[in-house]
Chains A and B, each alone.
Chain A
Protein backbone atom coordinates (compact mmCIF):
# COMPACT_ATOMS: atom_id res chain seq x y z
CA UNK A 1 0.00 0.00 0.00
CA UNK A 2 1.28 3.44 -0.87
CA UNK A 3 1.68 6.23 1.66
CA UNK A 4 0.59 9.24 -0.37
CA UNK A 5 1.35 12.78 0.82
CA UNK A 6 -1.75 14.84 0.04
CA UNK A 7 -0.56 18.43 -0.55
CA UNK A 8 -3.25 19.64 1.87
CA UNK A 9 -3.55 16.86 4.47
CA UNK A 10 -0.13 15.24 4.53
CA UNK A 11 0.72 11.53 4.29
CA UNK A 12 -2.27 9.17 4.22
CA UNK A 13 -2.90 5.55 3.26
CA UNK A 14 -3.59 4.77 -0.38
CA UNK A 15 -7.05 3.50 0.63
CA UNK A 16 -8.14 7.13 1.15
CA UNK A 17 -7.42 8.02 -2.47
CA UNK A 18 -8.89 7.51 -5.92
CA UNK A 19 -6.63 7.16 -8.91
CA UNK A 20 -7.12 9.47 -11.90
CA UNK A 21 -4.55 8.27 -14.42
CA UNK A 22 -2.10 10.39 -16.38
CA UNK A 23 -1.88 14.10 -15.45
CA UNK A 24 -1.70 17.07 -17.81
CA UNK A 25 -3.98 15.57 -20.50
CA UNK A 26 -5.72 18.65 -21.82
CA UNK A 27 -9.14 18.55 -23.46
CA UNK A 28 -8.67 19.37 -27.16
CA UNK A 29 -8.69 23.14 -27.74
CA UNK A 30 -10.66 22.88 -30.98
CA UNK A 31 -12.53 19.54 -30.80
CA UNK A 32 -14.25 19.96 -34.16
CA UNK A 33 -10.88 20.20 -35.92
CA UNK A 34 -9.61 16.82 -34.70
CA UNK A 35 -9.07 13.94 -37.12
CA UNK A 36 -10.14 10.41 -36.16
CA UNK A 37 -6.51 9.62 -35.35
CA UNK A 38 -6.27 12.62 -33.08
CA UNK A 39 -9.51 11.65 -31.31
CA UNK A 40 -8.19 8.13 -30.84
CA UNK A 41 -5.01 9.56 -29.29
CA UNK A 42 -6.99 11.80 -26.95
CA UNK A 43 -9.49 9.13 -25.87
CA UNK A 44 -7.54 5.91 -25.74
CA UNK A 45 -3.80 6.53 -25.63
CA UNK A 46 -2.05 7.42 -22.39
CA UNK A 47 1.60 7.19 -21.50
CA UNK A 48 2.50 3.95 -19.75
CA UNK A 49 6.15 4.42 -18.77
CA UNK A 50 8.21 2.10 -16.63
CA UNK A 51 9.66 4.83 -14.44
CA UNK A 52 8.58 8.35 -13.38
CA UNK A 53 4.97 9.11 -14.28
CA UNK A 54 2.97 12.30 -13.68
CA UNK A 55 -0.50 11.24 -12.56
CA UNK A 56 -3.65 12.45 -10.83
CA UNK A 57 -5.00 11.41 -7.45
CA UNK A 58 -8.07 12.51 -5.55
CA UNK A 59 -8.08 12.47 -1.75
CA UNK A 60 -11.57 10.96 -1.85
CA UNK A 61 -11.87 10.06 1.84
CA UNK A 62 -10.14 13.23 3.05
CA UNK A 63 -10.21 16.76 1.69
CA UNK A 64 -11.73 15.48 -1.59
CA UNK A 65 -9.36 17.56 -3.68
CA UNK A 66 -7.49 16.50 -6.80
CA UNK A 67 -3.73 16.88 -7.08
CA UNK A 68 -0.83 15.56 -9.13
CA UNK A 69 2.02 13.27 -8.21
CA UNK A 70 5.19 12.09 -9.88
CA UNK A 71 5.51 8.41 -8.99
CA UNK A 72 7.95 5.82 -10.25
CA UNK A 73 5.88 2.94 -11.63
CA UNK A 74 8.84 0.55 -11.31
CA UNK A 75 9.66 1.24 -7.65
CA UNK A 76 6.44 2.78 -6.30
CA UNK A 77 8.41 5.73 -4.93
CA UNK A 78 6.59 9.08 -4.97
CA UNK A 79 9.05 11.79 -6.01
CA UNK A 80 6.74 14.81 -5.69
CA UNK A 81 3.15 15.91 -5.20
CA UNK A 82 1.83 19.26 -6.42
CA UNK A 83 -1.45 21.15 -6.72
CA UNK A 84 -3.53 21.51 -9.85
CA UNK A 85 -2.30 24.35 -12.02
CA UNK A 86 1.24 24.01 -10.74
CA UNK A 87 3.84 22.86 -13.26
CA UNK A 88 5.35 19.40 -12.99
CA UNK A 89 8.35 19.78 -10.71
CA UNK A 90 11.79 18.67 -11.80
CA UNK A 91 12.52 15.43 -9.97
CA UNK A 92 15.76 13.47 -9.81
Chain B
Protein backbone atom coordinates (compact mmCIF):
# COMPACT_ATOMS: atom_id res chain seq x y z
CA UNK B 1 0.00 0.00 0.00
CA UNK B 2 1.25 3.42 -0.82
CA UNK B 3 0.55 6.29 1.52
CA UNK B 4 1.52 9.02 -0.85
CA UNK B 5 0.15 12.45 -0.26
CA UNK B 6 -0.99 15.03 -2.79
CA UNK B 7 2.02 16.35 -4.59
CA UNK B 8 3.78 12.98 -4.68
CA UNK B 9 5.33 12.03 -8.00
CA UNK B 10 3.54 9.13 -9.69
CA UNK B 11 5.64 6.24 -10.99
CA UNK B 12 6.89 6.14 -14.59
CA UNK B 13 4.77 4.27 -17.11
CA UNK B 14 6.34 1.03 -18.25
CA UNK B 15 6.86 0.63 -22.02
CA UNK B 16 4.63 -2.37 -22.50
CA UNK B 17 2.17 -4.13 -20.20
CA UNK B 18 0.33 -6.67 -22.33
CA UNK B 19 0.22 -8.15 -25.84
CA UNK B 20 -2.50 -7.53 -28.41
CA UNK B 21 -3.35 -10.95 -29.82
CA UNK B 22 -5.69 -11.53 -32.75
CA UNK B 23 -9.06 -12.80 -31.56
CA UNK B 24 -9.52 -16.57 -31.84
CA UNK B 25 -12.77 -18.14 -33.11
CA UNK B 26 -13.76 -19.47 -29.72
CA UNK B 27 -13.10 -19.15 -25.99
CA UNK B 28 -14.39 -20.71 -22.78
CA UNK B 29 -15.37 -17.29 -21.51
CA UNK B 30 -15.90 -14.10 -23.46
CA UNK B 31 -16.13 -10.92 -21.37
CA UNK B 32 -17.93 -8.03 -23.06
CA UNK B 33 -16.30 -4.70 -22.18
CA UNK B 34 -12.74 -3.93 -21.16
CA UNK B 35 -13.09 -1.75 -18.09
CA UNK B 36 -11.78 -2.38 -14.61
CA UNK B 37 -14.50 -4.86 -13.72
CA UNK B 38 -13.85 -6.93 -16.85
CA UNK B 39 -10.09 -6.97 -16.24
CA UNK B 40 -10.49 -7.89 -12.57
CA UNK B 41 -12.94 -10.64 -13.53
CA UNK B 42 -10.52 -12.05 -16.08
CA UNK B 43 -7.67 -11.94 -13.59
CA UNK B 44 -9.55 -13.77 -10.82
CA UNK B 45 -11.00 -16.29 -13.32
CA UNK B 46 -7.46 -17.18 -14.30
CA UNK B 47 -5.78 -16.93 -10.92
CA UNK B 48 -8.41 -18.44 -8.60
CA UNK B 49 -10.40 -20.72 -10.88
CA UNK B 50 -7.81 -21.86 -13.44
CA UNK B 51 -9.96 -20.59 -16.32
CA UNK B 52 -7.49 -18.99 -18.69
CA UNK B 53 -9.18 -19.47 -22.07
CA UNK B 54 -10.72 -16.05 -21.71
CA UNK B 55 -11.09 -13.08 -24.04
CA UNK B 56 -11.84 -9.53 -22.91
CA UNK B 57 -13.45 -7.65 -25.82
CA UNK B 58 -13.33 -3.86 -25.64
CA UNK B 59 -14.93 -1.65 -28.28
CA UNK B 60 -12.56 1.25 -27.69
CA UNK B 61 -9.27 1.22 -25.87
CA UNK B 62 -8.75 -0.81 -22.74
CA UNK B 63 -10.28 0.83 -19.66
CA UNK B 64 -11.12 3.98 -21.63
CA UNK B 65 -14.75 4.02 -20.42
CA UNK B 66 -15.82 4.86 -16.89
CA UNK B 67 -12.63 3.32 -15.61
CA UNK B 68 -10.71 6.26 -17.06
CA UNK B 69 -13.32 8.85 -16.08
CA UNK B 70 -14.22 8.30 -12.45
CA UNK B 71 -13.18 10.29 -9.41
CA UNK B 72 -11.55 7.18 -7.86
CA UNK B 73 -13.22 7.29 -4.48
CA UNK B 74 -13.02 4.00 -2.59
CA UNK B 75 -15.07 3.36 0.55
CA UNK B 76 -17.28 0.65 2.02
CA UNK B 77 -19.57 2.62 4.35
CA UNK B 78 -22.88 1.66 2.77
CA UNK B 79 -25.93 1.15 4.95
CA UNK B 80 -27.19 -2.37 4.38
CA UNK B 81 -25.65 -5.72 5.28
CA UNK B 82 -25.64 -6.94 1.69
CA UNK B 83 -23.71 -3.88 0.58
CA UNK B 84 -21.33 -4.00 3.53
CA UNK B 85 -20.55 -7.57 2.47
CA UNK B 86 -19.51 -6.86 -1.08
CA UNK B 87 -17.98 -3.39 -0.67
CA UNK B 88 -16.00 -4.30 2.44
CA UNK B 89 -14.73 -7.45 0.72
CA UNK B 90 -13.60 -5.16 -2.07
CA UNK B 91 -11.89 -2.74 0.31
CA UNK B 92 -9.96 -5.63 1.87
CA UNK B 93 -8.82 -6.68 -1.59
CA UNK B 94 -7.73 -3.09 -2.31
CA UNK B 95 -5.60 -3.19 0.84
CA UNK B 96 -3.52 -6.03 -0.60
CA UNK B 97 -3.86 -5.28 -4.29
CA UNK B 98 -0.52 -3.64 -4.90
CA UNK B 99 1.30 -6.74 -3.66
CA UNK B 100 -1.15 -9.07 -5.42
CA UNK B 101 -0.66 -7.46 -8.80
CA UNK B 102 2.97 -6.53 -8.29
CA UNK B 103 2.16 -3.14 -9.68
CA UNK B 104 1.87 0.34 -8.13
CA UNK B 105 -1.76 1.48 -7.89
CA UNK B 106 -1.17 4.42 -5.53
CA UNK B 107 -3.90 3.33 -3.14
CA UNK B 108 -4.02 6.07 -0.54
CA UNK B 109 -6.18 5.47 2.52
CA UNK B 110 -6.67 9.12 3.35
CA UNK B 111 -10.23 8.72 4.65
CA UNK B 112 -13.61 9.91 3.39
CA UNK B 113 -15.95 12.44 4.99
CA UNK B 114 -19.63 12.40 4.05
CA UNK B 115 -20.99 15.75 5.20
CA UNK B 116 -24.37 16.29 6.85
CA UNK B 117 -26.14 19.60 6.23
CA UNK B 118 -29.57 19.00 7.75
CA UNK B 119 -31.05 17.29 10.76
CA UNK B 120 -32.17 14.47 8.48
CA UNK B 121 -28.62 14.11 7.10
CA UNK B 122 -27.37 13.91 10.70
CA UNK B 123 -29.82 11.18 11.63
CA UNK B 124 -29.06 9.23 8.45
CA UNK B 125 -25.34 9.62 9.02
CA UNK B 126 -25.39 8.49 12.65
CA UNK B 127 -27.55 5.54 11.70
CA UNK B 128 -25.10 4.62 8.97
CA UNK B 129 -22.13 4.83 11.33
CA UNK B 130 -23.89 2.46 13.71
CA UNK B 131 -24.84 0.10 10.89
CA UNK B 132 -21.27 0.17 9.57
CA UNK B 133 -19.85 -0.76 12.96
CA UNK B 134 -22.29 -3.62 13.37
CA UNK B 135 -21.11 -4.87 9.98
CA UNK B 136 -17.43 -4.62 10.90
CA UNK B 137 -16.81 -1.54 8.75
CA UNK B 138 -14.75 1.28 10.29
CA UNK B 139 -16.83 4.40 10.79
CA UNK B 140 -16.95 7.44 13.04
CA UNK B 141 -19.37 10.30 13.54
CA UNK B 142 -17.61 13.66 13.65
CA UNK B 143 -18.93 17.02 14.77
CA UNK B 144 -18.14 20.21 12.79
CA UNK B 145 -14.96 20.96 14.75
CA UNK B 146 -13.66 17.44 14.21
CA UNK B 147 -14.47 17.77 10.51
CA UNK B 148 -12.27 20.86 10.52
CA UNK B 149 -9.46 18.90 12.14
CA UNK B 150 -9.58 16.22 9.46
CA UNK B 151 -9.96 18.69 6.60
CA UNK B 152 -9.04 22.27 7.58
CA UNK B 153 -10.25 23.83 4.33
CA UNK B 154 -13.92 22.88 4.81
CA UNK B 155 -16.10 25.85 5.80
CA UNK B 156 -17.83 24.79 9.03
CA UNK B 157 -19.23 28.12 10.17
CA UNK B 158 -22.89 27.84 11.24
CA UNK B 159 -23.65 30.84 9.03
CA UNK B 160 -22.49 29.11 5.86
CA UNK B 161 -24.97 28.60 3.05
CA UNK B 162 -24.68 24.84 3.61
CA UNK B 163 -23.85 24.54 7.32
CA UNK B 164 -21.83 21.46 8.19
CA UNK B 165 -23.64 19.79 11.08
CA UNK B 166 -21.30 16.83 11.15
CA UNK B 167 -19.99 14.03 8.98
CA UNK B 168 -19.50 10.32 8.78
CA UNK B 169 -15.83 9.45 8.53
CA UNK B 170 -14.34 6.24 7.21
CA UNK B 171 -10.59 6.37 7.86
CA UNK B 172 -9.76 3.30 5.71
CA UNK B 173 -11.43 4.80 2.65
CA UNK B 174 -9.44 6.68 0.04
CA UNK B 175 -8.45 6.91 -3.60
CA UNK B 176 -6.28 4.98 -6.07
CA UNK B 177 -4.90 5.74 -9.52
CA UNK B 178 -7.61 4.34 -11.78
CA UNK B 179 -5.52 3.81 -14.90
CA UNK B 180 -2.81 2.07 -12.90
CA UNK B 181 -5.43 -0.22 -11.38
CA UNK B 182 -6.65 -1.18 -14.86
CA UNK B 183 -3.12 -1.68 -16.16
CA UNK B 184 -2.17 -3.75 -13.14
CA UNK B 185 -5.12 -6.09 -13.63
CA UNK B 186 -4.57 -6.17 -17.41
CA UNK B 187 -0.91 -7.05 -17.07
CA UNK B 188 -1.58 -9.75 -14.50
CA UNK B 189 -4.45 -11.26 -16.51
CA UNK B 190 -2.46 -11.23 -19.75
CA UNK B 191 0.44 -12.95 -18.00
CA UNK B 192 -1.94 -15.78 -17.06
CA UNK B 193 -3.01 -16.23 -20.70
CA UNK B 194 -6.09 -14.01 -20.99
CA UNK B 195 -6.55 -12.34 -24.40
CA UNK B 196 -7.14 -8.60 -24.17
CA UNK B 197 -8.65 -7.46 -27.45
CA UNK B 198 -9.21 -3.78 -28.12
CA UNK B 199 -11.24 -2.11 -30.89
CA UNK B 200 -13.58 -5.08 -30.93
CA UNK B 201 -17.20 -4.08 -30.41
CA UNK B 202 -19.73 -6.74 -29.53
CA UNK B 203 -22.72 -6.10 -31.79
CA UNK B 204 -24.83 -9.04 -30.67
CA UNK B 205 -25.05 -12.05 -28.38
CA UNK B 206 -26.23 -15.22 -30.13
CA UNK B 207 -28.69 -17.30 -28.16
CA UNK B 208 -29.91 -20.72 -29.30
CA UNK B 209 -31.99 -23.18 -27.28
CA UNK B 210 -32.04 -20.79 -24.31
CA UNK B 211 -28.23 -20.70 -24.16
CA UNK B 212 -25.66 -18.09 -25.11
CA UNK B 213 -23.44 -19.57 -27.83
CA UNK B 214 -21.40 -16.77 -29.32
CA UNK B 215 -20.92 -13.06 -29.76
CA UNK B 216 -20.92 -11.17 -33.03
CA UNK B 217 -18.23 -8.52 -33.12
CA UNK B 218 -16.74 -5.95 -35.45
CA UNK B 219 -13.83 -8.41 -35.76
CA UNK B 220 -15.92 -11.47 -36.55
CA UNK B 221 -18.00 -14.07 -34.77
CA UNK B 222 -16.53 -15.57 -31.60
CA UNK B 223 -18.17 -18.58 -30.02
CA UNK B 224 -18.10 -18.97 -26.26
CA UNK B 225 -19.33 -21.38 -23.60
CA UNK B 226 -20.03 -18.46 -21.34
CA UNK B 227 -20.62 -14.80 -22.11
CA UNK B 228 -20.11 -12.33 -19.26
CA UNK B 229 -21.34 -8.75 -19.66
CA UNK B 230 -19.18 -6.02 -18.14
CA UNK B 231 -20.30 -3.19 -20.38
CA UNK B 232 -21.15 -0.60 -17.67
CA UNK B 233 -23.22 2.22 -19.28
CA UNK B 234 -24.06 0.10 -22.33
CA UNK B 235 -25.33 -3.03 -20.56
CA UNK B 236 -28.92 -2.50 -21.74
CA UNK B 237 -27.84 -2.20 -25.37
CA UNK B 238 -25.81 -5.42 -25.35
CA UNK B 239 -28.29 -7.41 -23.24
CA UNK B 240 -31.13 -6.50 -25.57
CA UNK B 241 -29.40 -8.32 -28.43
CA UNK B 242 -29.81 -11.48 -26.35
CA UNK B 243 -33.49 -10.71 -25.77
CA UNK B 244 -32.80 -9.67 -22.20
CA UNK B 245 -34.26 -6.51 -20.65
CA UNK B 246 -32.41 -5.00 -17.69
CA UNK B 247 -33.86 -2.62 -15.08
CA UNK B 248 -31.33 0.09 -15.90
CA UNK B 249 -31.22 3.65 -17.12
CA UNK B 250 -28.08 5.18 -18.63
CA UNK B 251 -27.04 8.68 -17.65
CA UNK B 252 -24.09 10.98 -18.22
CA UNK B 253 -22.04 11.57 -15.07
CA UNK B 254 -19.50 14.37 -15.09
CA UNK B 255 -16.30 15.17 -13.31
CA UNK B 256 -13.62 17.80 -13.63
CA UNK B 257 -10.15 18.72 -12.46
CA UNK B 258 -8.57 22.02 -11.48
CA UNK B 259 -5.09 23.20 -12.28
CA UNK B 260 -2.27 21.93 -10.06
CA UNK B 261 -2.27 23.19 -6.49
CA UNK B 262 -0.05 22.80 -3.49
CA UNK B 263 -1.21 20.03 -1.15
CA UNK B 264 -4.24 21.61 0.52
CA UNK B 265 -6.76 18.82 0.77
CA UNK B 266 -5.70 15.83 2.88
CA UNK B 267 -8.80 13.63 2.62
CA UNK B 268 -11.89 13.04 0.46
CA UNK B 269 -15.02 15.11 1.10
CA UNK B 270 -18.42 14.15 -0.25
CA UNK B 271 -21.63 16.07 0.14
CA UNK B 272 -24.69 14.34 -1.14
CA UNK B 273 -27.08 17.14 -0.24
CA UNK B 274 -25.28 19.83 -2.19
CA UNK B 275 -23.83 17.51 -4.73
CA UNK B 276 -20.13 17.74 -4.89
CA UNK B 277 -17.28 15.47 -3.94
CA UNK B 278 -13.67 16.50 -3.87
CA UNK B 279 -10.25 15.03 -3.39
CA UNK B 280 -6.78 16.12 -4.42
CA UNK B 281 -4.97 13.89 -6.87
CA UNK B 282 -1.44 12.73 -6.18
CA UNK B 283 -0.10 15.26 -8.66
CA UNK B 284 -2.11 18.12 -7.12
CA UNK B 285 -5.28 18.66 -9.16
CA UNK B 286 -8.54 18.96 -7.30
CA UNK B 287 -10.78 16.19 -8.62
CA UNK B 288 -14.48 16.97 -8.37
CA UNK B 289 -17.60 15.09 -9.25
CA UNK B 290 -21.28 15.94 -9.34
CA UNK B 291 -24.62 14.17 -9.69
CA UNK B 292 -25.89 12.56 -12.89
CA UNK B 293 -27.61 14.52 -15.63
CA UNK B 294 -31.35 13.99 -15.26
CA UNK B 295 -32.22 12.64 -18.67
CA UNK B 296 -31.14 9.34 -20.20
CA UNK B 297 -28.02 9.67 -22.29
CA UNK B 298 -25.29 7.73 -24.03
CA UNK B 299 -23.26 10.84 -24.78
CA UNK B 300 -19.93 10.99 -23.01
CA UNK B 301 -20.49 14.65 -22.24
CA UNK B 302 -22.85 16.22 -19.78
CA UNK B 303 -24.73 19.47 -19.44
CA UNK B 304 -22.96 22.63 -18.37
CA UNK B 305 -25.57 23.65 -15.82
CA UNK B 306 -24.68 20.57 -13.77
CA UNK B 307 -21.07 21.75 -13.56
CA UNK B 308 -22.22 25.25 -12.66
CA UNK B 309 -24.32 23.96 -9.79
CA UNK B 310 -21.50 21.71 -8.62
CA UNK B 311 -18.99 24.58 -8.65
CA UNK B 312 -21.37 26.80 -6.72
CA UNK B 313 -21.66 24.11 -4.04
CA UNK B 314 -17.91 23.52 -3.99
CA UNK B 315 -17.20 27.21 -3.40
CA UNK B 316 -19.64 27.41 -0.52
CA UNK B 317 -17.98 24.44 1.17
CA UNK B 318 -14.41 25.33 0.22
CA UNK B 319 -14.05 29.11 -0.10
CA UNK B 320 -10.31 28.54 -0.66
CA UNK B 321 -11.11 27.13 -4.13
CA UNK B 322 -12.31 30.52 -5.38
CA UNK B 323 -9.06 31.13 -7.22
CA UNK B 324 -8.64 27.67 -8.70
CA UNK B 325 -9.29 27.16 -12.41
CA UNK B 326 -11.24 24.39 -14.07
CA UNK B 327 -8.80 22.67 -16.37
CA UNK B 328 -10.81 19.84 -17.94
CA UNK B 329 -14.33 18.47 -17.69
CA UNK B 330 -15.59 15.16 -19.06
CA UNK B 331 -18.34 12.61 -18.58
CA UNK B 332 -18.88 8.89 -18.52
CA UNK B 333 -22.06 6.91 -19.16
CA UNK B 334 -23.27 5.07 -16.08
CA UNK B 335 -26.13 2.61 -15.78
CA UNK B 336 -28.33 3.24 -12.79
CA UNK B 337 -30.62 0.65 -11.21
CA UNK B 338 -33.90 1.34 -9.37
CA UNK B 339 -32.46 0.57 -5.92
CA UNK B 340 -29.04 2.17 -6.52
CA UNK B 341 -27.40 -1.24 -6.14
CA UNK B 342 -25.63 -3.32 -8.77
CA UNK B 343 -26.92 -6.37 -10.61
CA UNK B 344 -24.39 -9.20 -10.54
CA UNK B 345 -25.26 -12.77 -11.37
CA UNK B 346 -27.11 -15.16 -13.63
CA UNK B 347 -29.73 -14.31 -16.23
CA UNK B 348 -32.66 -16.29 -17.68
CA UNK B 349 -30.31 -17.13 -20.59
CA UNK B 350 -28.00 -20.05 -19.70
CA UNK B 351 -24.35 -19.17 -19.93
CA UNK B 352 -25.07 -15.41 -20.00
CA UNK B 353 -23.99 -13.47 -16.92
CA UNK B 354 -24.48 -9.83 -15.96
CA UNK B 355 -22.38 -7.39 -14.00
CA UNK B 356 -23.98 -3.97 -14.32
CA UNK B 357 -25.95 -1.27 -12.56
CA UNK B 358 -22.98 -0.05 -10.52
CA UNK B 359 -24.11 3.38 -11.54
CA UNK B 360 -22.04 6.18 -10.11
CA UNK B 361 -20.10 4.07 -7.63
CA UNK B 362 -18.54 0.96 -9.13
CA UNK B 363 -14.86 1.91 -9.15
CA UNK B 364 -14.50 1.11 -5.46
CA UNK B 365 -15.95 -2.31 -6.20
CA UNK B 366 -13.48 -3.15 -8.99
CA UNK B 367 -11.56 -5.94 -7.19
CA UNK B 368 -14.56 -7.19 -5.20
CA UNK B 369 -16.94 -7.21 -8.15
CA UNK B 370 -14.40 -9.00 -10.34
CA UNK B 371 -13.72 -11.53 -7.59
CA UNK B 372 -17.42 -12.32 -7.02
CA UNK B 373 -18.24 -12.31 -10.72
CA UNK B 374 -15.38 -14.71 -11.49
CA UNK B 375 -16.75 -17.08 -8.86
CA UNK B 376 -20.24 -16.78 -10.35
CA UNK B 377 -19.01 -17.54 -13.86
CA UNK B 378 -16.74 -20.37 -12.77
CA UNK B 379 -19.39 -22.13 -10.67
CA UNK B 380 -22.52 -21.20 -12.61
CA UNK B 381 -23.96 -19.80 -9.40
CA UNK B 382 -23.41 -16.64 -7.40
CA UNK B 383 -21.05 -16.37 -4.46
CA UNK B 384 -22.94 -15.60 -1.21
CA UNK B 385 -21.55 -12.05 -1.39
CA UNK B 386 -23.23 -11.28 -4.72
CA UNK B 387 -26.28 -13.54 -4.35
CA UNK B 388 -28.41 -10.65 -2.96
CA UNK B 389 -27.62 -8.62 -6.10
CA UNK B 390 -29.55 -10.91 -8.44
CA UNK B 391 -31.79 -9.82 -11.27
CA UNK B 392 -34.66 -11.65 -9.54
CA UNK B 393 -34.76 -9.18 -6.68
CA UNK B 394 -36.90 -6.87 -8.79
CA UNK B 395 -39.56 -9.58 -8.96
CA UNK B 396 -39.26 -10.91 -5.42
CA UNK B 397 -39.11 -7.38 -4.02
CA UNK B 398 -35.93 -8.08 -2.03
CA UNK B 399 -34.40 -4.79 -3.13
CA UNK B 400 -31.10 -3.57 -1.72
CA UNK B 401 -32.12 0.06 -1.40
CA UNK B 402 -28.92 2.04 -1.05
CA UNK B 403 -30.08 5.44 -2.30
CA UNK B 404 -29.13 7.05 1.00
CA UNK B 405 -25.59 5.71 1.08
CA UNK B 406 -24.91 5.84 -2.66
CA UNK B 407 -23.71 9.44 -2.17
CA UNK B 408 -24.76 10.64 -5.61
CA UNK B 409 -28.39 11.43 -6.25
CA UNK B 410 -29.94 9.62 -9.18
Contact = CB atoms under 8 A, between A and B. Distances in A.
A71 B394 contact: no
A14 B245 CA distance: 29
Interface in A40-92: 40, 43-46, 48-50, 53, 55, 71, 73-76
Interface residues of A, number: 26
Interface string B286-306: 000000001111110001110
Contact of A37 (B249, B295, B298, B395): B395
B247 to A, nearest CB: 4
Contacts of A21: 249, 296
Given A14-B305, A36-B396, A37-B395, A46 B249 contact: yes
Contacts of A74: 298-299
Contacts, number: 63
Given A44-B338, A48-B250, A15 B296 contact: no
B339 to A, nearest CB: 9
Given A50-B234, A73-B250, A44 B394 contact: yes
A50 B237 contact: yes
* Chain B contact residues: helix, strand, loop or mixed: mixed
B270 interface: no
A2 B296 contact: no
How big is chain B's contact interface, by range? 20 to 34
Interface string B159-194: 000000000000000000000000000000000000
B297 A36 contact: no
B299 to A, nearest CB: 6
Interface string A8-46: 000001110011010000000000000011011001111
Given A36-B395, A45-B247, A73 B297 contact: yes
B248 interface: yes
A50 B305 contact: no
Nearest to B304: A1
Interface string B374-403: 000000000000000000001111000000
A48 B303 contact: no
Given A1-B304, A48-B250, A50-B234, A40 B296 contact: no
Nearest to B337: A44
A39 B396 CA distance: 10
Contact of A76 (B249, B297, B305, B395): B297
B312 to A, nearest CB: 13
A76 B305 CA distance: 15
Contact of A45 (B245, B298, B299, B303): B245
Contacts of A44: 247, 338, 394
Interface of A: 1-2, 13-15, 18-19, 21, 36-37, 39-40, 43-46, 48-50, 53, 55, 71, 73-76
Interface of B: 234, 236-237, 245-250, 294-299, 303-305, 335, 338, 394-397
Task: List the 8 closest A-B pairs by CB distance, nearest first.
Answer: A48-B236, A19-B294, A44-B247, A40-B395, A44-B394, A1-B303, A50-B298, A44-B338
Given A48-B249, A74-B298, 18 more contacts: A13-B305, A14-B305, A15-B305, A21-B249, A21-B296, A36-B396, A39-B395, A44-B338, A45-B246, A45-B247, A48-B236, A48-B250, A48-B296, A49-B236, A50-B234, A50-B250, A73-B250, A73-B298
